[in-house]
């Protein structure tokens, strides 16, 4: 096996995955255009692993830059995180999302095949299930209607990568459908670093805890759930990162086309998260109930038994550790990587 190219490797999930890859002795090369990340995350990776992280500041839309990387480096597989991911922004800027995520991936995959590298692990999302047909969600659950362009890019890219694999079975394609990644590296030196007002629940909570925001807005308490607030499957980012190492092993064994949910199988409501965060960290999170957020669903959690069976992977961190680790990162780095 040659080197592993990690696109979007300076980002939240990517940087944690680089740590786990280097920890098991993989040779990693990172590509990121830093549109939503800081190169400092890679310095933190090096401090943890004691290894250099070869880095190319490049865009997946830049064919020449990709050609150069694939010519210089002996890349045998790509873990493809690079993409824009803000749901609300994607509604306002659909062209930018389709261009970046879809045209970017098409360019990447074209350069890959020209260089004989036909192994890819793709960051998909539970969002492809839309309002899921059944809960807990297995991989057999039909894909649904997405409520925003971001979700459609994931759904469409799954189709595109599947079609490419079906047409040429030298390809090994693993689609990983993430549920809700939170938490941070135990060291407290790496974590999620959102620009501006966080869209997602946990970074919003940690910013309330650190005093940057006054209170949490809870988007609706009239859902059909145990306390009326939305239920999700939160998964520790380090568990997610380890999932990629296991998927890579599957690729090395000639995976063909595979799809796996990466979740814990446990659903927690917004108020469950608030309570767990308060208990784990001894901080108060003031909140107000507000209107539902458009496009949100009541309940989403995984049946993750297929990943356990076929990848030998299962999440090992519980909600307490997720809350503690998110807080340690935020507390030690109130301004993220700045």
Catalytic center residues: 150
Q: By the 8 A CB rule, do 260 and 310 touch?
A: yes
Measured from the CB atom, is 73 or 239 closer to ligand UFG? 239
218 touches ligand UFG by CB under 6 A: yes
Q: Classify residue 284 by its DSSP letter.
A: -
In the complex, the smallest distance separating the C-beta of residue 33 from ligand NAD, rounded to whole angstroms, is 4
Measured from the CB atom, is 85 or 289 closer to ligand NAD? 85
Q: Which of ligand UFG, ligand NAD, none does residue 296 bind to, with CB < 5 to 8 Å depending on kind?
A: ligand UFG
Q: Which of ligand UFG, ligand NAD, none does residue 119 bind to, with CB < 5 to 8 Å depending on kind?
A: none
Q: Which of ligand UFG, ligand NAD, none does residue 149 bind to, with CB < 5 to 8 Å depending on kind?
A: none
Q: CA–CA separation, 285 vs 157, rounded Å?
A: 38
The span of 12-20, 34-42, 216-224, 321-329 binding ligand UFG (CB under 6 A) equals 216-224
In the complex, the smallest distance separating the C-beta of residue 109 from ligand UFG, rounded to whole angstroms, is 22
Q: By the 8 A CB rule, do 330 and 202 touch?
A: no
Tokens of 145: 């209607």
The residues with which 83 forms a beta bridge, in sequence order, are none
Q: CA–CA separation, 19 vs 246, rounded Å?
A: 14
Measured from the CB atom, is 85 or 236 closer to ligand NAD? 85
- Beta strands 268-269 and 231-232 are antiparallel
Measured from the CB atom, is 13 or 190 closer to ligand NAD? 13
Radius of gyration of the chain (CA): 19
13 touches ligand UFG by CB under 6 A: no
Binding string, 275-314, against ligand UFG, x = CB under 6 A? ------------------x--x---x--------------
> Which residue shows structure tokens 């390809």?
171
Tell me which residue of 116, 129, 124 sits closest to 161, measured CA to CA: 124
Alpha-carbon torsion angle 93, 270, 275, 17, nearest 10: -50
- Beta strands 287-290 and 216-219 are parallel
In the complex, the smallest distance separating the C-beta of residue 123 from ligand NAD, rounded to whole angstroms, is 3
Estimate the share of the chain in helix, then strand, then coil, as percent rounded to the nearest 5: 40, 20, 40
Contact residues for ligand NAD, defined by CB under 6 A: 8, 10-14, 32-37, 59-61, 81-85, 100, 104, 123, 125, 178, 180-181
Binding string, 168-187, against ligand UFG, x = CB under 6 A? -----------xx-------
């Amino acid at each position: 096996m040659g080197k592993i190219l990690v696109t979007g490797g300076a980002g939240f999930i990517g940087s944690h995955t680089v740590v786990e890859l280097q920890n098991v002795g993989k040779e990693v090369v990172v590509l990121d255009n830093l549109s939503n990340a800081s190169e400092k995350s890679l310095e933190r990776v090096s401090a943890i692993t004691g290894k250099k992280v070869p880095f190319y500041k490049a865009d997946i839309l830049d064919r020449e830059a990709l050609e150069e990387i694939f010519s210089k480096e002996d890349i045998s597989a790509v873990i493809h995180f690079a993409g824009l991911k803000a749901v609300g922004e994607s509604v306002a800027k659909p062209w930018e999302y389709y261009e970046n995520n879809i045209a970017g991936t098409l360019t990447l995959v074209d350069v890959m095949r020209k260089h004989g590298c036909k192994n890819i692990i793709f960051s998909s999302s539970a969002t492809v299930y839309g309002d899921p047909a059944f809960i807990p969600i297995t991989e057999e659950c039909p894909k649904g209607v997405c409520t925003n362009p971001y979700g459609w890019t994931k759904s469409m890219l799954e189709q595109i990568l599947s079609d490419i694999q079906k047409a040429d079975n030298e390809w090994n394609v693993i689609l990983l459908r993430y549920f809700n990644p939170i938490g941070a590296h135990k060291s407290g030196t790496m974590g999620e670093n959102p620009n501006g007002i966080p869209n997602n629940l946990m970074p919003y909570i940690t910013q309330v805890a650190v005093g940057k925001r006054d209170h949490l807005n809870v988007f609706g308490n009239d859902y059909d759930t145990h306390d009326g607030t939305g239920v999700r499957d939160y998964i520790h980012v380090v568990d997610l990162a380890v999932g990629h190492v296991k998927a890579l092993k599957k690729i090395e064994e000639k995976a063909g086309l595979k799809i796996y949910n990466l979740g814990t199988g446990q659903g927690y409501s917004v108020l469950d998260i608030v309570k767990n965060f308060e208990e784990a960290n001894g901080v108060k999170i003031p909140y107000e109930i507000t209107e539902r957020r458009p496009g949100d669903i009541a309940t989403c959690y995984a049946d993750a038994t297929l990943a356990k069976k076929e990848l030998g992977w299962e999440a090992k961190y519980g909600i307490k550790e997720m809350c503690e680790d998110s807080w340690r990162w935020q507390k030690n780095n109130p301004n993220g990587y700045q």
